[in-house]
Each structure stands twice: as C-alpha cells, then as structure tokens.
Structure 1
Amino acid sequence: MGLKDWIEAPATAVVPATRSKLNWLRGATARLTTPLLPDDYLHLANPLWSARELRGRIVDVRSETSDSATIVIKPGWGFDFDYAPGQYVGIGLHIDGRWHWRSYSLTSPPNWDDKRISIAVKAMPEGFLSAHLVNGVPSGTIVRLATPSGNFALPDPPPERILFLTAGSGVTPIMAMLRTLSRRGRRPDVLHVHSARTESEVMFGDELKALADDHPEFRSHIQLTRSQGKFALSSLDELCPDWRERTTWACGPLPMLDEIERRWQDEGITDKLNLERFAVSRADTSGKGGTVTFEKSGKTVTVDGATTLLEAGEGAGALMPFGCRMGICQTCVVPVLSGHAIDLRNGKEHAEGDRVQTCVSAAAGDCTLDA
C-alpha cells in the first residue's frame, strides 16, 4: 500500500469510508501519530472527535409513553447518514464502570442536513439498558455508536402498495420508513396495522393519526388488544383485500411474527414478506452453562445456560464483535478453542475448531473462545 492509500484508508473498521475527505483527515491524523493515537488530545477539544470509534452525544430525551422514550443523538466524526430507513444502530453506554451495548432501530429518516439521529426505546422489565435510557440517561451523555446496518429496510423507490404489521415497540423501524416517505414526497398506498394494549401505550399515536389525516393514501388501523382483542390475520381480507399483492414489513413479538410467517408461507407469498425480530426464539437448554475463558482478552467468567457468550464477554469486559445481536448478520462469529458451546435457537452443539455466533450461543460446559 502506498503512502497516499495508507493515509486515506479508514481509521477504523467501524467508521465507514463513504466520506473520503473526512476519512483522509482522520486517517492521516491517526496514522501519522502512531503509536500515540490522538484520541486523548481530540477528546479534550471535543468528546465527539475520535480516530478510533464512532461517538455521539444525547441531546434530547422525549417521552413517548409512560415506559418509552425517543432518544435524539448528535453523532460525531465519521457517522454515515445515508443509512436505509428501517436499519438499526448499535449504542454503547458507560454505566457503573463498563460499557453496555444494545442495538435499536433508527426512527429518524436518513438526513445529512439535520446531523441528528433518533431511536425509540421501550423500557423492558428485564432490560437494564433500556430502562436506563428511558428513565435515567441525561442529555449530554456521550455514547459509542456502531455503523447502521440491517436488511429490514425500505428500498428507494418504494413499492407502490405497502402493508406494515407491527405491535408494541415493533413500530420503531416503521416510523423511519413513514417519515422517509413523507420527507421525500413519495405517496405509495400504505396500510399500517398496529397493536398495543391501550391507547396510552400506542407509541407515536398522535403522529400516526396526523399522517392518516393529512395523507389519504395512508391508512392506519390501531388495534387496542385489551379492549378489542388480538388482531386476527383473517380480518385482512376485509380490511385490505389486496394484502397478498402488497410488499409487507412486520415487526413485533415473536409469536406474532411466527404466525405471520406461517400465513405467508401457506399463501406462497414469502417473497413479499420482510420480518424484523427484536429477540431470538430459544430452544430448551436447561442444565447448560459453565466457565467461559476469552483467550485474547484474558477474561474469565462463569455463567448460566441462558446467558449468551456475547453477553458473558461484555459482562466480563472482553472486547466482543457484534452487530444485529439476533443471529442474522454473522458479525459476532468467533472460533471455539476448547470445550463446547450451544446454539440457543436449535440446541446444536459446537466443539473445538467450530465458529459460533456468540449472540445466539451459550456455554455448554467450560469453554474457551478466541476473543
């Protein structure tokens, strides 16, 4: 590699190389000061400046419902705002001396002008980070960011007829799509069916109503399950007679998505279905667990059979690669050096020499990972 190519190369793998001038400056600064990277000096000038990682500052926290909020973030150097509506972004937050990472759907449309992104988070009873983001994170907090990614995305140009099926916080990636369509002035025929327990628990309820009032080509059906019961897929024939011809995006609880997937398979139209799962269906792995050693990081931790290897590594302070955290993108794959690991989705065991997806695998006895 010549000097010019070496300087212009991205400073880090997590910073996209789509903005050549920005990467030239950051890359040159990082490399010409090797081995003393300039981050410590840059941080004194501006906490968002980094040659090694993507950072952002939380600039606003807006309540959506009693247990959910929109988090507005100003990204720093190197963030690519040309993401596709519907993709997710990794967020790292420093709490109690260590970094906690999760992935959340972007709710903001792609926009280089505004230089802001937003996510919407619903606090879950078992969700340590989600509860902190909704109830405890102050404006001004510096976060780490991962590059937006994911295949659950709206194409450009969009289909002429669209069906959105969502429930609970599954509405979040759809909001990015709806806001993008509105901003671009695109007017496809859209039906959005959204389920929530009560009217007060409908995330973005006022905005969805306003969209329906202002755009006759957009129809919104809100199913309040506590008073109206679960939305029946059989009612689509009356609500939307041409649903089989529409491109569909569905996001919500796993049982809902499993039912949708079966129905679309029965109809022979799975090529028109896009699914986004926020959780992983797990097989019965009772009695598993063990001591996990992370060879490169020099960390060791003992975990139960319900804790993923990714969660174990992050909890122990090991530097773990990750992406979707749902077993889709393959970013988190690492080799097993010894022992056994088990895939939580299907119970398949992996042994020495195998490569495992740490976000959906757990220890099956003591094991050592090349991480």
Structure 2
Amino acid sequence: MSVAHTGRPAEGRRFSLLSLFEAMATPHQLDRYLELVTPMVTVRDLRAEVALVRRSTADTVTLTLRPTRQWRGFRAGQFVQVGVVIDGVRHTRCYSPANAQSSTDGHVELTIKAHPDGLVSQYLHAQARPGLVLDLSQAAGEFTLPSPRPRRLLLVSGGSGITPVLSMLRTLVDEEHVGSITFLHYAYTENDVAYLDELRALADANANVSLVLAYTDQEAGGHLHGFFGLEHLDAVAPWYADAETFLCGPPGLMRGVREVYRELGIEDRLHTEEFAPAAASAEGEAGGAVSFTASGITADNSGATLLEQAEAAGLHPEYGCRMGICFSCTTVKTSGCTRNVRTGDTDTDPDKAIQLCVSVPMGDVALDI
C-alpha cells in the first residue's frame, strides 16, 4: 500500500526548528537579531523598504513600499499601520494605500500629508529616502467596495483623504468596471491636489469616469467652488439616491456630507472613513478622577481623551492611529461612564473594552492600565 506524502511533516519540522531557534534567542525575538544584519530579513515581523519617493505637492510625499514576504495584500479603501523610529522612540500611524488592490508587483503606495503637528508625517515628508525600512502591519478596515460592484458610485474626498478613494477608482478601472463613477475631490487650490495629472488621465481614458474638482480657496479654475452642499451634490451626481457614496476627508467635509445625506434620508448609502481624530470637548464632562488601577495612579479628570490623560499621568499605553481606527489602544474600563468622541455614544457598562484615543471620561472612571 502506498502512502501519499502531504508535506505537512516537513512543514511541522520547519516550525519546530523555528521555535527552537527562537527559544535559543531568548530574551529577544529572533527578528531582533536578524535586523542587526539586515532589517528586511525577518522570520515573523512584517516590514517594508522604501523603493521610491516622490513629492508632487509642497506638503505631501508619496512612498512606494516593497513589503517583506509576510505581506498578504489589501482591499481598496483599507489602511495599514506604519511604524518608524524617531529619536530612539518607535511611533506608529495609519495610512491608506493609494494603488489598486489588483497591483501585481506587490508594492504599496502611500501618500502622506505633512501635518503641522504630525510627528511621523513631518518626519517622513522630510527624511524618507529609498532604502529606509519601516514597520508595516497587515491591511485592515471595513471601508471597502462591495461585491458585486454598484452600478453607480460617487467617490468623495478632501485633502489627504484622497488615498483610499483613489485606490477604489484605480481598482475599478483595472477591473474594467462599466458603471458610472464620479470622483469629487475638494482642495484649497489646484496646487494642493495630489495625483492631479493621473486623475485627469483616468477621466480622459474612461468614458464612465467623471472627475470633478472643487476648490475652497481658489475662484478660478476647477468645476466647483466653496464647500460641499446639496447644490454640489445635485450638480455632480443627480442620481445620488440610486448610488453608493464613499467618503474620506477632513472633519468639516465629513460633517457636511453626513448632514446632507441625513436630511435626504439616504445615510444608509453613505460609507465613510475618518483620517483625522475627532476633537474632544471637555464641556460638562471634566470633573471626578481617572484611576489607572494596574499602575496605582489616580489623576483629576481633565476632559481630554483617556489616551491623552494616561500619557499626561506618565503612562505609555499602546496606540496606533489615535483616531479610533486601528483598535491598538483598546483597554478594559472597569467602572465609570465614557463618551465616544466620534459617535457621541456613552457607555456605563463595567468591565467593557473601550478605545482610549476616542473615549473621554464623564466623571469618575477606572481603567485596567
């Protein structure tokens, strides 16, 4: 009787050898030693090397990344966490790939706007060069195109929120999608539009793609001027009630679009992704104390987010995006009431996992930190 060889015993031996090597490397992971030789040779860690750097506007930088073999790809609209060491401290931020999910070269394209107070974005804008190695997470997020693709799509973006919806547009074009697509982008001026030449080329080459540029600080040029409102929606997509809308941009644009869709009763057709943290309001909420029980520290409630209050107390909880997307800062609230600054929802349940970066305490709160 012959026995078919499945290859599993060999695979098991490889994992056993890996576990043995890692045990010998204690107290550090094996990758901590390998990175001393070359950062792109890893056993478990996912990393990416900067292969190309391009600066198309005054305050943005586009990085083409070559991930290590652990990379599993992404769906258009998702985000990744990028880690970089600055002055000996590792910082992590979330960015959305801008290339099509169907890209065959395995590369990841990120366009990063250098925000005035953005430590990581300012560093990458000024310092990123080919050969720089970054930490990279697998892609995550639910802001993705449905399948089958909608017959009509309205893609709305503002500023650096262009990247996830551009990824959607590129993916749809690669798939030869024949449905109607309107791409509406808001910027201060024409000089602030990343990917301007490519957007125009995509619209020229695809009869089903309509590009609409709206400038808030420039009266000449563009198709629309000022801020989003019903008149803009009627002008660019009169079929909006029969379409799916995907939106990513700064808080003002997000709020304006949501309000219009809510008034029209079609909020269920609006899909959104935040790329800026919501502001925490301390009005009526400051008071009481925040107890970090695992550390034995108690501090007066300042009304700021729990992540900011933990850091002000000298603690260093894990975090990633600082805007409620990546869930890296999820911590157990053992008691008290908190409010989510993104949704406005309050939570009074004990022993509840909450996101520190978007939760503010309302009175006394205890956390398992």
> When the two structures are superposed, what TM-score results if normalisation uses the length of structure 2?
0.80
**Equivalent in 89, 106, 114 of residue 115 of structure 1:** 106
Structure 2 unaligned residues grouped into runs of 5+ = 1-7, 220-224
**2:222 paired residue number:** none
Deviation at 1:25, TM superposition (A): 9.0
**1:105 paired residue number:** 96
Q: Percent identity?
A: 32
**2:5 paired residue number:** none
The amino acid across from 1:32 in the alignment is L
Tell me the alpha carbon deviations over residues 118-155 of structure 1, each in whole angstroms, 9 at most, x when there is no partner.
Answer: 11111111211111111222322221111211111123
**Equivalent in 23, 29, 34 of residue 42 of structure 1:** 34
The amino acid across from 2:357 in the alignment is C
Structure 1 unaligned residues grouped into runs of 5+ = 1-6, 9-20
The answer to whether the aligner puts 1:73 opposite 2:71 as a matched pair is no
Contact 2:155 2:183 in 1 (8 A): yes
**1:194 paired residue number:** 185
**2:157 paired residue number:** 166
Deviation at 1:347, TM superposition (A): 8.4
Greater C-alpha radius of gyration = 2
- Please give the secondary structure, in 1, of the residue aligned with 2:178: coil
The amino acid across from 1:281 in the alignment is A
The amino acid across from 2:250 in the alignment is P
Equivalent positions of 1:286-325 (< 5 A) are 287=286, 295=294, 305-306=303-304, 308-309=306-307, 318=316, 320=318, 322=320, 325=322
Tell me the alpha carbon deviations over residues 146-169 of structure 1, each in whole angstroms, 9 at most, x when there is no partner.
Answer: 121111112344212111111111
Distance in 2 of aligned mates of 1:336 and 1:134: 37
The amino acid across from 2:20 in the alignment is L
The answer to whether the aligner puts 1:222 opposite 2:213 as a matched pair is yes
Contact 2:301 2:364 in 1 (8 A): no
Decide whether aligned partners of structure 1 residues 93 and 365 sit closer, same or farther in structure 2, where only a CA change above 3 A counts: farther
Distance in 2 of aligned mates of 1:44 and 1:236: 54
Decide whether aligned partners of structure 1 residues 132 and 366 sit closer, same or farther in structure 2, where only a CA change above 3 A counts: farther
**2:264 paired residue number:** 267
Tell me the alpha carbon deviations over residues 202-254 of structure 1, each in whole angstroms, 9 at most, x when there is no partner.
Answer: 11111111111111111101112112322433233243221211111111122
Contact 1:30 1:38 in 2 (8 A): no
Contact 1:313 1:320 in 2 (8 A): no
The amino acid across from 2:78 in the alignment is Q
Decide whether aligned partners of structure 1 residues 212 and 90 sit closer, same or farther in structure 2, where only a CA change above 3 A counts: same
**1:33 paired residue number:** 21
Decide whether aligned partners of structure 1 residues 195 and 101 sit closer, same or farther in structure 2, where only a CA change above 3 A counts: same
Contact 1:164 1:248 in 2 (8 A): yes
- Please give the secondary structure, in 2, of the residue aligned with 1:241: coil
Decide whether aligned partners of structure 1 residues 304 and 32 sit closer, same or farther in structure 2, where only a CA change above 3 A counts: farther
**2:45 paired residue number:** 53
Tell me the alpha carbon deviations over residues 150-193 of structure 1, each in whole angstroms, 9 at most, x when there is no partner.
Answer: 11112344212111111111111111111112222323211111
- Please give the secondary structure, in 1, of the residue aligned with 2:56: strand
RMSD between aligned alpha carbons?
A: 3.6
Distance in 1 of aligned mates of 2:116 and 2:305: 17
The answer to whether the aligner puts 1:256 opposite 2:253 as a matched pair is yes
**Equivalent in 331, 334, 343 of residue 334 of structure 1:** 331
Decide whether aligned partners of structure 1 residues 185 and 288 sit closer, same or farther in structure 2, where only a CA change above 3 A counts: farther
Distance in 2 of aligned mates of 1:225 and 1:193: 13
Contact 2:337 2:346 in 1 (8 A): no
Tell me the alpha carbon deviations over residues 91-115 of structure 1, each in whole angstroms, 9 at most, x when there is no partner.
Answer: 1110011111110111122247312
**Equivalent in 263, 273, 277 of residue 274 of structure 2:** 277
Decide whether aligned partners of structure 1 residues 321 and 201 sit closer, same or farther in structure 2, where only a CA change above 3 A counts: closer
Tell me the alpha carbon deviations over residues 261-310 of structure 1, each in whole angstroms, 9 at most, x when there is no partner.
Answer: 222223222222111111243342265798875848x9999996545517
Deviation at 1:74, TM superposition (A): 1.1
Decide whether aligned partners of structure 1 residues 129 and 301 sit closer, same or farther in structure 2, where only a CA change above 3 A counts: farther
Aligned length: 348
Decide whether aligned partners of structure 1 residues 363 and 127 sit closer, same or farther in structure 2, where only a CA change above 3 A counts: farther
